[in-house]
């Protein structure tokens, strides 16, 4: 299994911090051309895309970022609801001086990409919704997300390698996908003063968009999907927890210009578990 560093070794890459509306935002930046922004999931960070940056940087100016509150970006005292991420992303797009961008998001990042495309359609070329959909889960999915909430609480209560590993294990299909290096990277992030508490707050807010009926009425329903008018790739997996394949198929029916691709050997992190196939499918959509 390729390590984070080996995936990036020799890549003309820089780690930088960009002021997005007052939020100091970490980005792994590489390549030239149209801007492509990679957005991680709840509690995640830019390293989730270590295995995808090099090949995409041959065609795009890639920004794999730590969203507000995550990774090594600032964690202001905000509610971390959907509008917070939409406003943050708009500030980031403005900060990099782009009128229109490509956005690829995983899980929460997929939702943010969709919400942003709805509110700011003039700023988006295409989006990829990777294992995240603006639809509520079924009962089995709700149980998955309850488990996710408990794992997050443990990983952020007193961060340990074992708790972090169990939280990461929720994301993948195979045990070997969780490397010691990945555990150490996330542990270092969660051990920053105040970061674990912020990630737990983020997890509660993120879960609410899926399982809290009052929140879902505004942010997670089919009527929103009908308002996405840019081309959309729904990139799903056979073993995605929380929102399984039927949810992706339903979402594809509501989005006016959507195509659905299902990868067979990964769970919530196909960009990490099946990077070669992910990169192939992903680039084919973005470049056509």
Average pLDDT, the chain: 96
User: Collapsing DSSP states into helix, strand and coil, what is residue 116?
Assistant: helix
pLDDT tens string 226-236: 999 999 999 99
C-alpha R_g of the chain: 17
Q: Please compute the mean of the pLDDT values over residues 133-141 and round it to a whole number.
A: 95
DSSP 177: G
Residue 282 to residue 233: CA distance in whole angstroms: 8
User: Collapsing DSSP states into helix, strand and coil, what is residue 133?
Assistant: coil
Give the rounded percent of residues in the chain with a pLDDT score beyond 70.
100
Give the rounded percent of residues in the chain with a pLDDT score beyond 90.
97
pLDDT tens string 56-78: 999 999 999 999 999 999 999 99
Element (H, E) at 210: helix 195-211
Q: Please compute the mean of the pLDDT values over residues 261-285 and round it to a whole number.
A: 98
The domain segmentation of the chain, as residue ranges, is 4-136+220-287
pLDDT at 121: 98
Residue 265 to residue 94: CA distance in whole angstroms: 37
Give the model's confidence band at 14: pLDDT under 50 very low, under 70 low, under 90 confident, else very high.
very high
pLDDT tens string 21-62: 999 999 999 999 999 999 999 999 999 999 999 999 999 999
List of residues 6+ apart from 4 with CB closer than 8 A: 47, 50, 181, 182, 185
pLDDT at 1: 66
* Topology adopted by domain 4-136+220-287: Rossmann fold (3.40.50)
Residue 85 to residue 66: CA distance in whole angstroms: 11
By the 10 Å C-beta count (0-12 exposed, 13-18 middle, 19+ buried), 59 is classed as middle
Give the model's confidence band at 86: pLDDT under 50 very low, under 70 low, under 90 confident, else very high.
very high
pLDDT at 210: 92
Give the model's confidence band at 2: pLDDT under 50 very low, under 70 low, under 90 confident, else very high.
confident
Q: Is the pLDDT of residue 184 over 80?
A: yes
Q: Please compute the mean of the pLDDT values over residues 80-94 and round it to a whole number.
A: 98
pLDDT at 40: 98
pLDDT at 107: 98
Q: Please compute the mean of the pLDDT values over residues 114-120 and round it to a whole number.
A: 98
Pair type for strands 23-30 and 61-65: antiparallel
Q: Whose structure tokens read 């294990």?
A: 169
Q: Is the pLDDT of residue 162 over 70?
A: yes
Q: Helices 108-119 and 82-95: crossing angle, nearest 10°?
A: 70
């Amino acid at each position: 299994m390729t390590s984070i560093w080996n995936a990036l070794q020799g890549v003309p890459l820089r780690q930088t911090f960009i002021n997005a509306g007052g939020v100091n935002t970490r980005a792994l930046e590489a390549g030239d051309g149209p801007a492509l922004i990679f957005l991680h999931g709840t509690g995640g960070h830019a390293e989730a895309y270590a295995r995808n940056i090099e090949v995409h940087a041959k065609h795009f100016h890639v920004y794999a970022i730590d969203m507000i509150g995550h990774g090594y970006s600032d964690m202001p005292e905000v509610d971390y609801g959907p509008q917070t991420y939409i406003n943050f992303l708009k500030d980031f797009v403005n900060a990099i001086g782009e009128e229109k961008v490509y956005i690829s998001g995983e899980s929460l990042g997929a939702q943010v990409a969709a919400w942003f495309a709805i509110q700011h359609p003039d700023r988006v070329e295409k989006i990829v919704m990777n294992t995240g959909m603006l639809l509520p889960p079924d009962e089995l999915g709700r149980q998955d997300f309850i488990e996710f909430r408990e794992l997050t609480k443990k990983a952020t209560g007193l961060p340990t390698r074992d708790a972090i590993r169990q939280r990461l294990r929720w994301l993948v299909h195979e045990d070997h996908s969780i490397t010691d290096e990945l555990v150490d990277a996330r542990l270092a992030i969660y051990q920053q003063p105040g970061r674990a508490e912020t990630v737990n707050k983020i997890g509660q807010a993120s879960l609410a968009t899926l399982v809290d009926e009052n929140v879902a009425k505004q942010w997670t329903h089919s009527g929103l999907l009908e308002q996405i008018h840019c081309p959309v790739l729904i990139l799903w997996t056979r073993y995605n927890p929380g929102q399984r394949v039927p949810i992706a198929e339903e979402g594809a029916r509501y989005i006016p210009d959507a195509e659905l691709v299902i990868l067979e050997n990964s769970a919530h992190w196909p960009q990490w578990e099946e990077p070669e196939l992910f990169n192939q499918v992903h680039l084919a959509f973005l470049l056509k």
